[in-house]
Amino acid sequence: MNISETANKNHEELFPKYKSILKETDPELIEVFDNFAFDEVLAYGNLDTHTRLMMILGSMIASQALGEYKVMLTGALNVGVAPVEVKEIVYQAVPYVGIAKVFDFIHATNETFINRGISLPLEGQSTTSPKTRLEEGLAVQKSIFGDMIYKMYEASPKNQIHIQKYLSANCFGDYYTRNGLDLKTRELLTFSIILSLGGCEPQLKGHIQGNLNIGNDKETLLSAVTQLLPYVGYPRTLNAIRCLNEVIPEQSKEV
């Protein structure tokens, strides 16, 4: 097999001494994929290994790729992604993917932790209470999206205002306010989850602007898209890039 030295090195970093069955059964595919995902793609962008693995884990949940999630979870833990960070990635997926699709990933994560001798439950990371979740969630929303949040409340019909309140109290008050991941990482993770879901381009554009507002620039967002490409494919990648360019247009080249 003609797998590059760089690809082998990057693969070994995640999976030391791992012997791939697919190298025996599907050598041509593994040669193409490993050279692309572990060499060519990794040469682009500004994400470090730690951040890249966190974004991939979120993407795997959104893509319902349980088998690959288990593989990449092992790699993430091997390169220093902390158990509490992993759990926060899984929890952060719940309001965007839904508990029905996250359920198996919670159990898979717990099984991996137990097998590695990580005691459960982990230390709690919640910072809000039933009394404070709405107020604090709304504050986080405003810190990410600005006054647009109030405009969304004002524009909402009376029979739908409860959804806006759920977004503030539940999505942001229950999840975004948690410790374990900083706000920039959570918002980049949300971007990665939504682009991997597909069909959520209006929400993706909103979170592109949200990322930009809190300091994740276009280079960072494009880096995340690029690193997820081998796992989500070209259609969702190209849709995400189109959304990026609509929200953050490229500067015209001088003639």
pLDDT along the chain (255 residues), means of 10: 93 91 94 97 96 98 98 97 98 98 98 98 98 97 93 94 97 98 98 97 97 97 98 98 96 59
Residue 249 has what pLDDT? 95
At 213, the amino acid letter reads N
Q: Which two tokens stand for residue 12?
A: 């070994």
Q: Cα–Cα distance between 226 and 232 in angstroms, integer?
A: 10
Locate tokens 């409340």: which residue? 153
- What tokens appear for 198 in the block? 């597909």
pTM of the model: 0.96
Measured CA to CA, the distance from residue 59 to residue 30 in angstroms comes to: 21
Q: What is the pLDDT of residue 241?
A: 98
Query: In whole angstroms, what is the distance from residue 177 CA to residue 186 CA?
Result: 10
Question: How far is residue 202's CA from residue 208's CA, in Å, rounded to a whole number?
Answer: 10
**CB of 58 closer than 8 Å to CB of 193:** yes
pLDDT value of residue 252 = 63
Q: How far apart are the C-alpha atoms of 141 and 215, rounded to whole Å? A: 15
| Cα distance between residue 119 and residue 123, in whole Å | 10
C-alpha distances out from residue 178 to 49, 109, 139, 234, Å: 23, 19, 13, 33
> What tokens appear for 82 in the block?
């902390």
Among 176, 86, 161, CA closest to 128: 176
Encoded amino acid at 37, one letter: A
Residue 160 is given by DSSP the state G
